[in-house]
Amino acid sequence: MKEGRKPYIAGNWKMNLDRSRALDLIKTIKGRLGDGNDREVAVFAPSVYLADVSAVAQGSPLGVGAQNLYFEREGAFTGELSGAMLREVGADRVLIGHSERRHLFHEPDDWMARKLRAALDAALLPVLCVGETLDERKGGKTDRVLKRQLETALMDVVAGEIRRLTIAYEPVWAIGTGEVATTEQAGEAHAFVRRWIAQKLGTEAGEAIRILYGGSVKPDNVKALMALDDVDGVLVGGASLKPDTFLPIIEFDT
Residue 32 CB, nearest approach to ligand 13P (Å)? 20
Residue 31 CB, nearest approach to ligand 13P (Å)? 23
With 0-12 / 13-18 / 19 or more C-beta atoms within 10 angstroms meaning exposed / middle / buried, residue 171 is buried
Of 100, 132, 136, 170, the catalytic one is 170
In contact, 200 and 209? CB cutoff 8 Å: no
| Site membership for ligand 13P, residue 214 (CB under 6 A) | yes
| Residues near 244 by beta carbon (within 8 Å), at least 6 away in sequence | none
Give 87 or 98: the residue with its C-beta nearer to ligand 13P: 98
Distance from the Cα of residue 199 to its chain's centroid: 22
Contact pick of 96, 112, 130, 175 for ligand 13P (by CB under 6 A) = 175
For the question of residue 106 being annotated catalytic, the response is: no
| Site membership for ligand 13P, residue 126 (CB under 6 A) | no
For the question of residue 204 being annotated catalytic, the response is: no
What is the amino acid identity at position 160?
Answer: G
With 0-12 / 13-18 / 19 or more C-beta atoms within 10 angstroms meaning exposed / middle / buried, residue 27 is middle
| Site membership for ligand 13P, residue 187 (CB under 6 A) | no
Contact pick of 124, 216, 225, 249 for ligand 13P (by CB under 6 A) = 216
Number of Cβ within a 10 Å radius of residue 193:
24
Residues of this chain that interact with ligand 13P (CB under 6 A) are 12, 98, 170, 175-176, 214-217, 235-239
